[in-house]
């Protein structure tokens, strides 16, 4: 696997875990989505910093694109958590 593939998998993993935890503890849907996006991006950029030893040169682009991906994942995970809450 290439380094970019591993980076995407790390972003997806962080986003799914953070989204699930955030939506379980925060009951306001949109707030939980934004909070999940922010925390996931901070954790991902921290992981990149630990890997590279410095901030990514394309930091702003990575935050924008990664934040968009994290927000979409938070919406999907939030919809699943909301459906699970309503069914039980």
| Interval 45-71: pLDDT, tens | 999 999 989 988 888 999 999 999 999
Alpha-carbon gap, residue 84 to 25, rounded angstroms? 14
pLDDT at 23: 95
Q: Average of pLDDT values for 1-22? A: 93
Alpha-carbon gap, residue 47 to 58, rounded angstroms? 15
pLDDT at 22: 96
Q: Average of pLDDT values for 13-18? A: 97
pTM: 0.90
Q: Higher confidence at residue 52 or residue 75?
A: 75
50-58: long-range pairs with CB below 8 Å, 24+? none
Alpha-carbon gap, residue 54 to 49, rounded angstroms? 5
Q: Average of pLDDT values for 17-43? A: 95
Would you say residue 88 has pLDDT above 80? no
């Amino acid at each position: 696997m290439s380094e970019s593939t591993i980076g995407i998998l790390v972003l997806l993993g962080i986003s799914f875990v953070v989204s699930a935890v955030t939506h379980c503890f925060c009951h306001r849907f949109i707030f939980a989505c934004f909070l999940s996006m922010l925390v996931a991006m901070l954790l991902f950029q921290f992981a990149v910093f630990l890997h590279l030893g410095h901030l990514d040169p394309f930091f702003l682009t990575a935050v924008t694109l990664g934040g968009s991906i994290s927000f979409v994942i938070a919406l999907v995970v939030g919809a699943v958590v909301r459906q699970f809450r309503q069914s039980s």
